[in-house]
Amino acid sequence: MIHSTTDISIRPASLNDNSRLASFLNYRSKIHRHLDWRSALDWLGSQPYLIAEYADELLAVLACPPDPPSIAWIRLFTAATELSPNRMWNMLLERAISALEGKQSECIAGLAVQPWFEELLIRSHFTSQQSIVVLEWDNRLPVPRPIGLDFTLRLMAAGDLEAVTRVDHQAFNPLWQNSLESITRGFKQSSSSTIIELDGQIIGYQISTSVTLSGHLARLAILPSFQGQGLGYALVTRLLSDFEQRGISHVTVNTQSDNASSLSLYTHVGFQLNGDEFPVYVLHLS
């Protein structure tokens, strides 16, 4: 029996914890996993990735490794069902904040997919930033529009990934930027990835995934100086045509609730809001 918090030890998880953590996660009824190209266990080896234990018993785990360096998204949190999640959360979060302070990280961010996790974030003084909304395609192919002879739309290649990452960082604010490693993982997992270039310079891209008859537009970015010229429309139109030829009838995309340009684009190509909305909270580090 655990008599006090002094009975609990907290340590960084290591690659050697993989099997033990996998078993622990399989039996949790309340578990927060960030929506990501990496699974929770893929983050092992990156810190802070913290385990709370009593003797040889695993009690809770919290992972929030920064990626990119300025943003530490909460990738994983869960606690043993017989314990108070609040108690474990507070202990692990305090240790994670201590590990991140003085480094490049500007904030810890959490995507509240489940109400119980949102309550934890609010109690810990995370502030509401915006929300992620979900849109679904109406299965009508948009009318293709010419993008001009100077632009080339082609398949993405491994050699494009560094340039694609640079586009990503210019198109999004730090909270939503993807690192080269994340872009690379997304590319390797994609069923469709294309770019638009001008004079050999990549100025936009999309990465999408699919499973059986469902597809997901996971990432779309256009350099700010080229936005509003129909390039995003061209990328999405080509993607939807490709999905339709493969028999994929259900396509989704996520975007920020306050991203007016993205919402306008997706509406024009036949996406509609489906009512799902997930709040985003941040805790700024001093």
Q: How far apart are CA 136 and CA 149, in angstroms?
A: 31
Burial 215-240 (b: 16+ CB within 10 A, else e): bbbbbbbbbeebbebbbbbbbbbbbb
What is the DSSP secondary-structure string of 8-26?
-EEEE--GGGHHHHHHHHH
pTM above 0.85, yes or no: yes
Chain region(s) in the chain for CATH 3.40.630.30: 5-125, 134-277
CA nearest neighbour of 271 among 131, 134, 145, 172: 134
Model pLDDT, residue 3: 46
CB neighbour list of residue 278: distance below 8 Å, 6 or more residues apart: 111, 112, 113, 131, 132
Q: How far apart are CA 232 and CA 269, in angstroms?
A: 10
Model pLDDT, residue 141: 95
What does the radius of gyration of the chain's CA atoms come to, in whole angstroms? 21
Q: Would you say domain 134-277 falls under CATH 1.20.1050.10?
A: no
Query: Would you write out the chain's pLDDT as a tens digit for each of its 286 residues?
Result: 554 567 899 999 999 999 999 999 998 889 999 999 999 999 999 999 999 999 889 999 999 999 999 999 999 999 997 677 899 999 999 999 999 988 899 999 999 999 999 999 999 999 999 999 999 999 999 999 989 889 999 999 999 999 999 999 999 999 999 999 999 999 999 999 999 999 999 999 999 999 999 999 999 999 999 999 999 999 999 999 999 999 999 999 999 999 999 999 999 999 999 999 999 999 999 7
Architecture of domain 5-125: 3-Layer(aba) Sandwich (3.40)
